[in-house]
C-alpha cells in the first residue's frame, strides 16, 4: 500500500510540473549540454543573468547545470526524457541537430518544444592577411588549380557543413582538416599548414582585429549586423547559406500557456541592452523567431544538415 501511494504521489508531482495555475511556481533547471566557457554555455548564462537582473522569473530560483558529453547527446537527452516538465529548459546549438543525424541517440529536435530563436551564429571563411586571396573568386580559382586545405572544428559540425556547401556550389575539391578545439584551428592557419579555415566569428575576431586574418565571406543569408563590411557568400555568387540556430527549447509536451509565457519573457530579454552587448561581443547576428516559426526553421535546417552530411558520407 505504501509503495502504491508513493508511486501515485510521484506521478501527481510530475504531472503538476506542467500544470501550475500560476507559472512559475517552482525553481527552473537550465541545462547546458556542453561544458563551461563555450558558446552555448555563454549564451545560456547570459539569458539567465538577464532574467535574474530584470526579475522576469519572479522570486523563483534558476539553476544552471552543465551536462556535457557526446557532442550534446547527454545534456539534450536528459532534457528530452522529461516530456511535459515545464521547469526544465535548454539552448540549441549546431550539435542539437547534427548529433542525432550522425550518432544513435534516443532523441531528435522533434522531441522538444521550440520556444524561440534568439540569434544566428553564421560562419566566416578566413585566410591569412598575407595570403594572395582577397576575394572569393580568387580563392575558388586557386582551389580549382591545386589542392587546398581548409580547417574547421569537428568532422561533422557546422564548419564542415559550410565547407561542404562551398565545395558543392563552387564545383571545387579540397582537403578538409578537422580540429578538436578553436586554439588548434587558429594555430593551423597562423602556421600556414592551412590555406583557410571556417569558423564562427567569435573564435577569430581577435585575430581579425589584430590584422592577422582576412575574412572572405559570411555564411548567413544577409550581412552580419556586427560585421556589415563582410560580404556574404551569396552576394559573391556562391550558394552557401548556413547559420547555427542559437535558441531556446523545452521538453515536448509542455503546456501551450507555458510556451507562450516563455515567448513573452524572451521578447523582453532580446530588447535589453545587455542582450545587444552580448550579440556584439560574440559576433552574433540578431535574429528572432517564435514558437512554431522556430520549429519550422529547425525542420528546414535539419533537412539541409542531413543532405550535406550525407553527401560526404558522414551518415552511416
Domain final residue, candidates 209, 236, 263: 236
210 and 133 co-located in one domain: yes
Q: Could you give the number of structural domains in the chain? A: 2
CATH number of the domain within which 136 lies: 3.40.190.10
Q: What is the pLDDT of residue 258?
A: 98
CATH number of the domain within which 34 lies: 3.40.190.150
Judge whether 192 lies within some domain: yes
**pLDDT at residue 46 tops 80:** yes
pLDDT digits (tens, 9 = 90+) for 162-212: 999 999 999 999 999 998 777 889 999 999 999 999 998 888 989 999 999
31 and 111 co-located in one domain: yes
DSSP state of 231: P
- Cβ atoms 184, 151 nearer than 8 A: no
pLDDT digits (tens, 9 = 90+) for 82-107: 999 999 999 999 889 999 998 989 99
Phi, psi for residue 179 in degrees, rounded to 5: -120, 155
Cis check: omega of the bond before 189, within 30 degrees of 0: no
Judge whether 225 lies within some domain: yes
Distances (CA, A) of 154 to 97, 143, 162, 256: 14, 22, 12, 37
Q: What is the pLDDT of residue 21?
A: 61
pTM exceeds 0.85: no
Compute the distance between CA of residue 305 and CA of residue 242 in angstroms, rounded to an integer: 9
Domain final residue, candidates 180, 208, 236: 236
Query: Quick one: which of 23, 92, 41 has its CA closest to 265?
Result: 23
pLDDT band at 8 (very low <50, low <70, confident <90, very high): very low
34 and 94 co-located in one domain: yes
290 and 199 co-located in one domain: no
The residue range of the domain holding 209 is 128-236
Residue with cell 511556481: 25
pLDDT digits (tens, 9 = 90+) for 199-214: 988 889 899 999 999 9
175 and 222 co-located in one domain: yes
Domain final residue, candidates 236, 253, 286: 236
Q: What is the pLDDT of residue 275?
A: 98
Average pLDDT for the chain: 90
Amino acid at each position: 500500500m505504501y509503495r502504491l501511494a508513493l508511486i501515485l504521489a510521484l506521478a501527481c508531482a510530475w504531472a503538476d510540473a506542467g500544470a501550475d495555475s500560476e507559472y512559475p511556481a517552482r525553481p527552473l533547471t537550465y541545462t547546458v549540454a556542453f561544458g563551461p566557457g563555450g558558446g552555448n554555455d555563454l549564451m545560456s548564462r547570459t539569458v539567465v543573468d538577464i532574467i535574474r537582473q530584470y526579475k522576469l522569473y519572479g522570486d523563483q530560483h534558476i539553476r544552471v547545470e552543465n551536462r556535457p558529453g557526446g557532442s550534446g547527446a547527454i545534456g539534450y537527452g536528459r532534457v528530452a526524457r522529461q516530456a511535459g516538465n515545464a521547469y526544465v529548459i535548454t539552448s540549441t546549438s549546431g550539435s542539437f541537430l547534427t548529433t542525432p543525424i550522425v550518432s544513435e541517440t534516443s532523441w531528435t529536435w522533434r522531441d522538444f518544444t521550440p520556444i524561440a530563436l534568439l540569434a544566428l551564429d553564421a560562419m566566416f571563411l578566413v585566410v591569412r592577411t598575407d595570403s594572395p586571396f582577397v576575394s572569393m573568386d580568387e580563392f575558388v580559382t586557386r582551389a580549382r588549380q591545386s589542392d587546398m586545405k581548409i580547417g574547421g572544428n569537428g568532422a561533422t559540425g557546422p564548419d564542415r557543413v559550410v565547407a561542404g556547401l562551398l565545395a558543392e556550389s563552387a564545383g571545387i575539391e579540397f582537403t578538409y582538416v578537422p580540429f578538436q578545439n578553436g586554439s588548434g584551428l587558429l594555430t593551423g592557419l597562423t602556421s600556414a599548414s592551412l590555406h583557410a579555415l571556417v569558423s564562427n566569428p567569435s573564435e577569430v575576431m581577435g585575430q581579425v582585429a589584430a590584422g592577422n586574418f582576412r575574412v572572405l565571406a559570411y555564411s548567413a543569408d544577409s550581412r552580419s549586423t556586427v560585421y556589415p563590411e563582410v560580404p556574404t557568400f551569396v552576394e559573391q555568387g556562391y550558394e552557401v547559406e548556413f547559420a547555427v540556430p542559437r535558441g531556446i527549447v523545452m521538453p515536448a509536451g509542455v503546456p501551450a500557456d507555458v510556451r507562450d509565457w516563455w515567448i513573452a519573457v524572451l521578447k523582453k530579454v532580446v530588447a535589453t541592452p545587455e542582450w545587444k552587448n552580448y550579440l556584439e561581443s560574440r559576433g552574433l547576428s540578431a535574429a528572432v523567431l517564435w514558437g512554431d516559426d522556430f520549429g519550422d526553421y529547425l525542420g528546414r535546417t535539419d533537412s539541409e544538415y542531413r543532405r550535406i552530411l550525407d553527401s560526404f558520407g558522414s551518415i552511416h
